Amino acid sequence: DIQMTQSPSTLSASVGDRVTITCRASQSISSWLAWYQQKPGRAPKLLIDKASSLETGVPSRFSGSGSGTEFTLTISSLQPDDFATYYCQQYKSYSLTFGGGTKVEIK
Amino acid sequence: QVQLQQWGAGLLKPSETLSLTCAVYGGSFSGYYWSWIRQPPGKGLEWIGEINRGGDTNYNPSLKSRVTISVDTSKNQFSLRLSSVTAADTAVYYCARGVASGSFYHYWGQGTLVTASS
């Protein structure tokens, strides 16, 4: 299986901050990477697919970049609704795997 | 508007079989892959497996010996069975729609907490 490692595991930030989350794959996955946002008690919400393609309805303050083994999710100006846990997911090969998550907390 | 609604038993004893069903409302049932994903309390997401309308399946090798995913096209439903559960199988189980085999997920069910405890 391809292992996905996210960092940091927890991030404390303030409204208006620029936030960057990193996801590393144990082998190249080209651009076959998705990002999700999850709030407590809710299913994950898809934000980005193919590493940088923003889903319809997702605010433009979210962006994704990277290819190969290193990827980033950036929130350009953190908003109150953005405090949540974020997961990356590779879909280059089976078994599909997710990163361990990054919890974005209020500083 | 695509909606996935899931149900099933929430409390099992060790060695019993977990059984969940997910119904799909709105959109097409064909042309997609239908998946199960789980999340132990306070932990990350684990992909369990997927099926298409024709019954083609792919499973996580770590669970393959205990997992069966099936489809009922007449009802636009798909189901998960996980045999011989232990406490390690305690998790919120989600159904989800993939755009293709082995892909990402736009639509998710509401989640079902399944607890395996004696």
Work out the number of other CB atoms within 10 angstroms of the CB of residue A8. Answer: 12
Q: Is B104 on the interface with A (CB under 8 A)?
A: yes
Round to whole Å and give the CA distance between B94 and B115.
14
Mean pLDDT of A23-43: 98
Nearest chain A Cα distance for residue B17, angstroms: 23
Mean pLDDT of A20-41: 98
Round to whole Å and give the CA distance between B68 and B50.
10
User: Does B44 sit within 8 Å of A99, measured CB to CB?
Assistant: yes
The pLDDT of residue A80 = 95
- Which of A43, A87, A95 minimises the CB distance to B111? A43
CA–chain centroid gap for A75, Å, is: 10
The pLDDT of residue B35 = 98
User: Does A97 sit within 8 Å of B105, measured CB to CB?
Assistant: no
Q: Residue A30 pLDDT > 90, yes or no?
A: yes
The pLDDT of residue B76 = 96
User: B69 and B78 in contact (C-beta within 8 Å)?
Assistant: yes
SS3 category, B96: strand
> One digit per residue, pLDDT tens: chain B, 118 residues?
999 999 999 999 999 999 999 999 998 999 999 999 999 999 999 999 999 999 999 999 999 999 999 999 999 999 999 999 999 999 999 999 999 999 999 999 999 999 999 9
Q: Is A71 on the interface with B (CB under 8 A)?
A: no
Nearest chain A Cα distance for residue B53, angstroms: 19
Asked, as a colleague might, if the bond just before B61 is cis with ω within 30 of 0, I would say no
